[in-house]
Chain A
Amino acid sequence: MKQIIHLSHYFFKKDKKQILSFGFILLITSLILHLATVLALRIDPAYDRQSDELHSADIDIVLPKYTDSDELSDAVCGHSTVQQLEKQRAILQKAVMKDFRGTDFELNILFYNWDDSRSLHQLSCLERSEEAVTNPVYLPLYISEFGEYPLNEKITFSIDGREFTFTVAGVVQEMHYGNASAEIMGVFLPDEGYRHLAQEFPGSEVINYAVRTAEGADVQNVLADLRQTAEEHHSPVLFALTGEAKKQSRMMVTNLLTVILAAFAVIVLLVSIFLCQFRIKTSVAEEMVQMGVLKSLGFTSGGIIRAIVLPYTLTALLFSALGASVSYALLPYLVDVLALQAGFRFDVPFSPAAMILTVALLTGVTLVFTRLAAGKLRRLQPIAAIRGLTEGKDMKKNRFAIARTPGSVNGVLMLKQMAASSRQNVLLFAVLFVMTILIAFSGSLFYNVIIEPDHFMNTLSDESPDMILQVSSSDINSMKQIISTLDGAKNVLSYSVLQVQVEKENAAAFVCEDFSKTRNDCCYEGRNPSSGREIAIGSALAERLGCGIGDEVAVTCSGTSRSYRVVGLVQSINNRGEICELTEEGFSALSGGEKLHTLYVYLKNSADADEFIDQTEAICGENIVSAVNAAKKQSEAQYMYTSIVNVVIVAVFTVTVLIVLLILYVILRSMIIQRRQEFGVFKAIGYSGRQLVWQAAGSLMPVTIAAALSSALLGLMYLPAVYNVIFGMIGAMKNHMEQPVGVLLLFAAAEIVVTLLISILLARPIKKIEAYSLIKE
Chain B
Amino acid sequence: MKKTFRSGDAEQTIINDLDLDICQGDFTVIMGSSGAGKSTLLYALSGMDKPTSGSITFCCEDITSYNADKLAVFRRKHCGFVFQQIYLLDKMSLMDNALTAGLLVGGKKKEIVRRAEALFAKVNLPEVTWRKLPSQISGGEAQRAGIVRAVINRPEVLFADEPTGALNSHNSDAVLNVFTELNRDGQSIIMVTHDKKSALRGSRIIYLRDGKIFGECDLGEYTPDNAERTGKLNAFLTEMNW
Which of A401, A403, A685, A767 interacts with B101 by CB under 8 Å?
Answer: A685
Residues of A within 8 A of B133 (CB): 395-398
Query: What mask results when residues 61 to 84 of chain B are scored 1 for a CB within 8 Å of chain A, else 0?
Result: 000000011001111110101010
Residue of A nearest to B109 (CB): A403
Decide if the interface of chain A is mainly helix, strand, loop or mixed: helix
Asked if B95 and A403 sit within 8 Å, CB to CB, the answer is: yes
**Of residues 58 to 112 in B, which have CB atoms within 8 Å of A's CB atoms?**
68-69, 72-77, 79, 81, 83, 85, 87-93, 95-96, 99-101, 103-105, 109
Residue of B nearest to A403 (CB): B113
Which of B85, B88, B96, B149 interacts with A401 by CB under 8 Å?
Answer: B96
Residues of A within 8 A of B83 (CB): 684, 774-775
Identify which of A128-136, A426-434, A504-512, A686-694 touches chain B. A686-694
Asked if B100 and A409 sit within 8 Å, CB to CB, the answer is: yes
Identify which of A23-31, A557-565, A590-598, A675-683 touches chain B. A675-683
B148 to chain A, nearest CB (A): 12
Asked if B75 and A686 sit within 8 Å, CB to CB, the answer is: yes
**Of residues 134 to 169 in B, which have CB atoms within 8 Å of A's CB atoms?**
135, 149, 153, 161
B49 adjacent to chain A (CB < 8 Å): yes
**Of residues 389 to 443 in A, which have CB atoms within 8 Å of B's CB atoms?**
392, 395-398, 401-403, 408-409, 413, 416-417, 420
Asked if A684 and B89 sit within 8 Å, CB to CB, the answer is: no
A439 to chain B, nearest CB (A): 32
A770 adjacent to chain B (CB < 8 Å): yes
The answer to whether A688 and B101 touch (CB under 8 A), given A401-B95, A774-B87, is no
Residues of B within 8 A of A413 (CB): 100
Residues of A within 8 A of B222 (CB): none
The answer to whether A395 and B101 touch (CB under 8 A), given A683-B72, A685-B75, A688-B69, is no
CA distance A690 to B135 in the complex (A): 29
Which of A402, A680, A688, A690 interacts with B99 by CB under 8 Å?
Answer: A402
Residues of A within 8 A of B76 (CB): 685-687
Asked if A686 and B89 sit within 8 Å, CB to CB, the answer is: no
Interface size in chain A (residues, C-beta < 8 A): 35
B43 adjacent to chain A (CB < 8 Å): yes
Asked if A687 and B72 sit within 8 Å, CB to CB, the answer is: yes
Residue of B nearest to A409 (CB): B103
Which of A402, A403, A408, A416 interacts with B91 by CB under 8 Å?
Answer: A416
Residues of A within 8 A of B79 (CB): 686
B39 adjacent to chain A (CB < 8 Å): yes
B184 adjacent to chain A (CB < 8 Å): no
Query: What mask results when residues 106 to 126 of chain B are scored 1 for a CB within 8 Å of chain A, else 0?
Result: 000100010000000000000
Residues of B within 8 A of A677 (CB): 87
Residues of A within 8 A of B88 (CB): 681
B131 adjacent to chain A (CB < 8 Å): yes
B48 adjacent to chain A (CB < 8 Å): yes
The answer to whether A690 and B85 touch (CB under 8 A), given A409-B104, A685-B101, A772-B48, is no
Residues of B within 8 A of A198 (CB): none
Residue of B nearest to A690 (CB): B69
CA distance A198 to B49 in the complex (A): 96
Residue of B nearest to A776 (CB): B39
Asked if A678 and B89 sit within 8 Å, CB to CB, the answer is: yes
Residues of B within 8 A of A408 (CB): 103
B139 to chain A, nearest CB (A): 16
Residues of A within 8 A of B103 (CB): 402, 408-409
A649 adjacent to chain B (CB < 8 Å): no
CA distance A677 to B85 in the complex (A): 11
The answer to whether A688 and B72 touch (CB under 8 A), given A402-B100, A777-B85, is yes
A318 adjacent to chain B (CB < 8 Å): no
A114 to chain B, nearest CB (A): 80
Residue of A nearest to B99 (CB): A402
Asked if B99 and A686 sit within 8 Å, CB to CB, the answer is: no
Residue of A nearest to B104 (CB): A686
Which of B85, B100, B135, B161 interacts with A685 by CB under 8 Å?
Answer: B100
Residues of B within 8 A of A420 (CB): 91
B56 to chain A, nearest CB (A): 14
Residue of B nearest to A391 (CB): B135
Which of B68, B87, B96 interacts with A398 by CB under 8 Å?
Answer: B96
The answer to whether A684 and B95 touch (CB under 8 A), given A396-B133, A775-B39, is no
A627 adjacent to chain B (CB < 8 Å): no
Asked if A688 and B73 sit within 8 Å, CB to CB, the answer is: yes
B14 to chain A, nearest CB (A): 13
| Max count, chain B CB within 10 A of own CB: residue among A688, A691, A777 | A688
Residues of A within 8 A of B73 (CB): 686, 688
B49 to chain A, nearest CB (A): 4
Asked if B104 and A395 sit within 8 Å, CB to CB, the answer is: no
Residue of A nearest to B162 (CB): A775
Residues of A within 8 A of B109 (CB): 403
The answer to whether A403 and B99 touch (CB under 8 A), given A685-B149, A686-B76, A689-B69, is yes
Query: What mask results when residues 519 to 530 of chain A are scored 1 for a CB within 8 Å of chain B, else 0?
Result: 000000000000
**Of residues 724 to 777 in A, which have CB atoms within 8 Å of B's CB atoms?**
767, 770-772, 774-775, 777
CA distance A659 to B171 in the complex (A): 51
Residues of A within 8 A of B49 (CB): 770, 772
CA distance A395 to B135 in the complex (A): 9
| Max count, chain B CB within 10 A of own CB: residue among A395, A396, A689 | A395
A103 to chain B, nearest CB (A): 62
CA distance A398 to B90 in the complex (A): 10
Residues of B within 8 A of A690 (CB): 69
CA distance A455 to B113 in the complex (A): 60
Which of B39, B87, B96 interacts with A402 by CB under 8 Å?
Answer: B96
Residues of A within 8 A of B69 (CB): 688-690
Asked if A681 and B104 sit within 8 Å, CB to CB, the answer is: no
Asked if B92 and A416 sit within 8 Å, CB to CB, the answer is: yes
Asked if A684 and B92 sit within 8 Å, CB to CB, the answer is: no
Residues of B within 8 A of A392 (CB): 135
B165 to chain A, nearest CB (A): 12
Residues of B within 8 A of A770 (CB): 48-49
Residues of B within 8 A of A688 (CB): 68-69, 72-73
Asked if B87 and A681 sit within 8 Å, CB to CB, the answer is: yes
Residues of A within 8 A of B93 (CB): 398, 401
The answer to whether A767 and B91 touch (CB under 8 A), given A396-B133, A685-B104, A772-B48, is no
Asked if B95 and A681 sit within 8 Å, CB to CB, the answer is: no
CA distance A684 to B86 in the complex (A): 12
Interface set of B (CB-CB < 8 Å, partner A): 39, 43, 48-49, 68-69, 72-77, 79, 81, 83, 85, 87-93, 95-96, 99-101, 103-105, 109, 113, 131, 133, 135, 149, 153, 161
Can you give 26 contacting A-B residue pairs, CB < 8 Å? A395-B91, A398-B95, A402-B96, A403-B99, A403-B109, A409-B104, A416-B91, A417-B91, A677-B87, A678-B91, A681-B88, A682-B100, A684-B48, A684-B81, A684-B87, A685-B75, A685-B149, A686-B73, A686-B75, A686-B77, A688-B68, A689-B72, A767-B68, A770-B49, A772-B49, A774-B85
Beyond A417-B91, A690-B69, 13 additional pairs, beta carbon < 8 A = A402-B100, A680-B87, A682-B100, A684-B87, A686-B75, A686-B79, A686-B153, A687-B104, A688-B72, A688-B73, A689-B68, A767-B68, A775-B43
